[in-house]
A and B are shown apart, each in its own frame.
Chain A
Amino acid sequence: MNKLTKIFITLVSAITLMLSSITSSIAKVEGDYIVLGAAISLTGKYSSNGVHTQNGYNLAVERINKMGGVEVQGKKYKFEIIYYDDESNPKRAAQLAERLINQDGVKYMLGPYSSGLTKAIAPVTEKYKIPMVEANGASRSLFTKGYKYLFAVLSPANQYLEVAIDLAVEKNGGKPVRIAQAFEQDAFSQDVRLGILDAAKRTGSEIIIDDKLPKELNDMAATLAKVKATKPDVLVVSGHTKGALTAIRQIAEMKVDVPMLAMTHCDAAKLSKQHGKKSEYALCASQWHKNLSYKDKFFGTGKKYDKDFKKEFGYAPPYQSAESSAALLVFKDAFERANSFDGDKLRDALKETEMQTFYGNIKFGPGGQNTAKPMILFQVRCKGDTCENKVVAPTKWASDKFYHPIPKWSERS
């Protein structure tokens, strides 16, 4: 080992030691700060949505702190978040949760991005009885395990596209429809599938194609050829951004005519931007849209949130950011109602949450899922070459009429 390497190693270990001594001195409430912990995917395959999540958290922290912070026992506190990068890796996320709790002394957690990572962290927070408000884990299985310290501000995955089936039946004059579906084989998409199965049963509809797409697959030609041959009334696709982009590309190229196409992750995939007119008429499930009429005193309306977020980060907020901001509003509300820093008192307060945020109404069901907020559906509509997402359901917020059936490819310019 030469001299330089030795110096380098000494330096690195010195810095590591220094850093570890700093972090371990932070406790749950430090001076005027309430410290929250979060493992977020800042690198790896979820990094774009991880960053959306972090931006959502940060915007809310800044806003709440600026508007007076959190009042507990007559004293004003500010929020602060300790972040770690979980590298989009569930094992790493669970380790980091342990680290946040044991070494950094964090007593309150915010969720990571994606159902898979939330599933990895939830057992840890349960074990240490740490309340976690999460905003990006929608998988139904998170809410059926009897977790007592997990609260999700978003609607569970099985609700994503149920509405679409109801809409298809309605358009079919109340008669059952024939459904073709293709779902990726991951926790989230399979939960969306369960929702469709429920909806099909409820409406007496028939599922004629039920494909499960392997995670590595970026080719849906075979599924779409089957769709072409069987002519279903609705085609449902869910496979994160990859599924949405592959489906639109190949539907357009293979000229597959279906009266209705329902998907997830259209906005995360920037569908209308990447595929332009090819994506027109696609019906997409979303947790949030800026045009909804919900309100709160921190962010005002969805439109205002959209504006503020754009100003701060330079891009329009996807729903992943909006729901993440809402998680902090929930924490603030719960802290003030609990009027205590005790974990169990806070948990009880969280359980009683019933509030409106710019993101939607929030009230937690017995499993911790948000039961007060419906999913919305938007449809991609184009004017010339610019395409936009227009809310079409539920009717209360619809800005545009739902266009049905999708015109045949031979009639589209």
Chain B
Amino acid sequence: MDFLIFKAPILMVQASLDGILLGILFALIAYGMALQWGVMNIINIAQGDLVILGGYIAYTMYLAGIHPAWGVIVSPIIMFFVGWALYKLVINKVVDRDLFISILATFGIAIIFQQLMNFIFGADVVVAQSEYGTTMLFDNSVTLPNSKIFSAVVSILYAIALVIYMKKSRLGRAIRATAQNARAAKILGVDTEKVYAATFGINAALCGIAGALIAITLTLHPYVGLPYTVRSFMIVIVAGLGNLPAVAISGMGLGLFEEFADYILGTEFRIGAVFMLLVFILVYRRFKLSKKREYLK
């Protein structure tokens, strides 16, 4: 029984593919977090709850008889405005303040979102059916749900679109300028207030896409947001801010790490392993930074 994965090497293929497909989805959420962290210096604890809210939008469409995959288009649009409104209501009051205050504020938002979703959609676990079928490889010994492949493809497409948008569009350039130096950008005529609101909106929209994908690949529940926050936090810590390829790679790495931890350490340590890795990386980074004398207290 021990280390089944080494006895049946085909499981490695399965685990790797599962991990990578899942990781791409994590990377999308993490990219949103990296973006607004970089621009606004806010760690958004409500990230996972925005994801779940996006999922519920797709689920609502599914209940209304629309194919939930359309959620990847509708959900980000709605979520963009949710993000925009959140910025105007709460985040703009904490944006230049201490990091601790923004963590506290977004933590509060997370709780409110959880309770609201619980109130509106109920505490039942729900799924939306995509009926996409399954791809079978290696004589049916490796199976990939097409919904997972769909989710990875959609994530990649959106990520590419976003990179191009950030490079080419006026708003994208303004966002990047603000991220580099908010004061200088302001002096040069960038409406930073608008940039912040747009950034938070884009982040929420990315969460919306990821949520819609989770609705058709996994399950939804008002209280399962936190693991997504933790995962994206970790990916961002590893990859740094504003570096999309690094985010994508560390996202896939995390997906792989989780899958292999499941096979080797046991399922019960799967989430625990992610937290352990987080602690390890934080300690390691601090150690490295202090060695380079770049870390000033």
- Asked whether, in the complex, the Cβ of A246 is within 8 Å of the Cβ of B11, the reply is no
Known A-B contacts A216-B224, A226-B11; A270 and B124 likewise in contact (beta carbons under 8 Å) = yes
Q: CA of A45 to CA of B136 in the docked complex: distance in angstroms?
A: 37
- Asked whether, in the complex, the Cβ of B1 is within 8 Å of the Cβ of A209, the reply is yes
Q: CA of A43 to CA of B11 in the docked complex: distance in angstroms?
A: 42
A residues 232-274 in Cβ contact with B at 8 Å: 240-242, 245-246, 249-250, 253-255, 269-270, 274
- Asked whether, in the complex, the Cβ of B124 is within 8 Å of the Cβ of A48, the reply is yes
- Asked whether, in the complex, the Cβ of B267 is within 8 Å of the Cβ of A253, the reply is no
Residues from chain A with Cβ under 8 Å of B218 in the complex:
218-219, 246, 249
Closest to B224 in A: A218
Q: CA of A333 to CA of B134 in the docked complex: distance in angstroms?
A: 56
A229 adjacent to chain B (CB < 8 Å): yes
Interface residues of A (CB under 8 A from B): 43-49, 88, 182, 185, 208-209, 211-214, 216-219, 221-223, 225-226, 228-230, 240-242, 245-246, 249-250, 253-255, 269-270, 274-276
- Asked whether, in the complex, the Cβ of A222 is within 8 Å of the Cβ of B267, the reply is yes
Closest to A240 in B: B125
B14 adjacent to chain A (CB < 8 Å): yes
Residues from chain B with Cβ under 8 Å of A44 in the complex:
118, 123
- Asked whether, in the complex, the Cβ of A221 is within 8 Å of the Cβ of B127, the reply is no
Residues from chain B with Cβ under 8 Å of A182 in the complex:
267
Shortest Cβ distance from residue B16 to the other chain A in the assembled complex, whole angstroms? 11
Interface size (B, Cβ < 8 Å)?
43
B residues 103-133 in Cβ contact with A at 8 Å: 115, 118-119, 122-127, 129
Q: CA of A229 to CA of B263 in the docked complex: distance in angstroms?
A: 12
B49 adjacent to chain A (CB < 8 Å): no
Known A-B contacts A254-B143, A255-B143; A269 and B268 likewise in contact (beta carbons under 8 Å) = no
- B8, B125, B268: which contacts A229 (Cβ < 8 A)? B8
B4 adjacent to chain A (CB < 8 Å): yes
Residues from chain A with Cβ under 8 Å of B172 in the complex:
none
Shortest Cβ distance from residue B138 to the other chain A in the assembled complex, whole angstroms? 12
**New contact pairs (6) apart from A245-B125, A275-B127, CB-CB < 8 Å:** A45-B221, A48-B123, A49-B123, A229-B4, A255-B140, A269-B125
Residues from chain A with Cβ under 8 Å of B259 in the complex:
221-222
B266 adjacent to chain A (CB < 8 Å): yes
B147 adjacent to chain A (CB < 8 Å): yes
Residues from chain A with Cβ under 8 Å of B134 in the complex:
253-255
- Asked whether, in the complex, the Cβ of A47 is within 8 Å of the Cβ of B271, the reply is no
Residues from chain A with Cβ under 8 Å of B15 in the complex:
222, 225
Q: CA of A276 to CA of B131 in the docked complex: distance in angstroms?
A: 11
Closest to B8 in A: A229
Q: CA of A253 to CA of B140 in the docked complex: distance in angstroms?
A: 12
B245 adjacent to chain A (CB < 8 Å): no
Q: 5 A–B contact pairs at CB < 8 A?
A: A45-B123, A214-B267, A229-B4, A253-B134, A254-B134
Closest to A209 in B: B1
Residues from chain A with Cβ under 8 Å of B32 in the complex:
none
- Asked whether, in the complex, the Cβ of B18 is within 8 Å of the Cβ of A185, the reply is no
Q: Pick the 7 closest A-B CB pairs, nearest first.
A: A253-B145, A212-B268, A222-B262, A211-B267, A214-B271, A254-B143, A216-B227
- A218, A225, A229: which contacts B219 (Cβ < 8 A)? A218
- Asked whether, in the complex, the Cβ of B271 is within 8 Å of the Cβ of A43, the reply is no
B residues 1-38 in Cβ contact with A at 8 Å: 1, 4, 8, 10-11, 14-15, 18, 22
Q: CA of A221 to CA of B223 in the docked complex: distance in angstroms?
A: 21
B240 adjacent to chain A (CB < 8 Å): no
- Asked whether, in the complex, the Cβ of A245 is within 8 Å of the Cβ of B219, the reply is yes
Known A-B contacts A222-B262, A245-B219, A254-B143; A46 and B123 likewise in contact (beta carbons under 8 Å) = yes
Closest to B128 in A: A274
- Asked whether, in the complex, the Cβ of B136 is within 8 Å of the Cβ of A43, the reply is no
- Asked whether, in the complex, the Cβ of A242 is within 8 Å of the Cβ of B123, the reply is no
- A88, A211, A218, A225: which contacts B221 (Cβ < 8 A)? A218
Residues from chain A with Cβ under 8 Å of B122 in the complex:
47-48
Q: CA of A217 to CA of B22 in the docked complex: distance in angstroms?
A: 13
- Asked whether, in the complex, the Cβ of A47 is within 8 Å of the Cβ of B126, the reply is no
Q: CA of A229 to CA of B14 in the docked complex: distance in angstroms?
A: 11
Known A-B contacts A222-B263, A274-B126; A45 and B219 likewise in contact (beta carbons under 8 Å) = no
- Asked whether, in the complex, the Cβ of A241 is within 8 Å of the Cβ of B4, the reply is no
- Asked whether, in the complex, the Cβ of A43 is within 8 Å of the Cβ of B118, the reply is yes
- Asked whether, in the complex, the Cβ of A47 is within 8 Å of the Cβ of B118, the reply is yes
- Asked whether, in the complex, the Cβ of A253 is within 8 Å of the Cβ of B143, the reply is yes
Shortest Cβ distance from residue B126 to the other chain A in the assembled complex, whole angstroms? 7
- Asked whether, in the complex, the Cβ of B270 is within 8 Å of the Cβ of A214, the reply is yes
Residues from chain B with Cβ under 8 Å of A225 in the complex:
11, 14-15, 18
B226 adjacent to chain A (CB < 8 Å): yes
- B4, B119, B136, B227: which contacts A226 (Cβ < 8 A)? B4
- B4, B143, B222, B271: which contacts A216 (Cβ < 8 A)? B271
Residues from chain A with Cβ under 8 Å of B147 in the complex:
253
Closest to A265 in B: B125
Q: CA of A253 to CA of B125 in the docked complex: distance in angstroms?
A: 18
- Asked whether, in the complex, the Cβ of A43 is within 8 Å of the Cβ of B268, the reply is no
Q: CA of A253 to CA of B143 in the docked complex: distance in angstroms?
A: 8
Shortest Cβ distance from residue A56 to the other chain B in the assembled complex, whole angstroms? 17
Residues from chain A with Cβ under 8 Å of B125 in the complex:
240-242, 245, 269
B residues 144-171 in Cβ contact with A at 8 Å: 145, 147
Residues from chain A with Cβ under 8 Å of B18 in the complex:
221-222, 225
Residues from chain B with Cβ under 8 Å of A228 in the complex:
141, 143
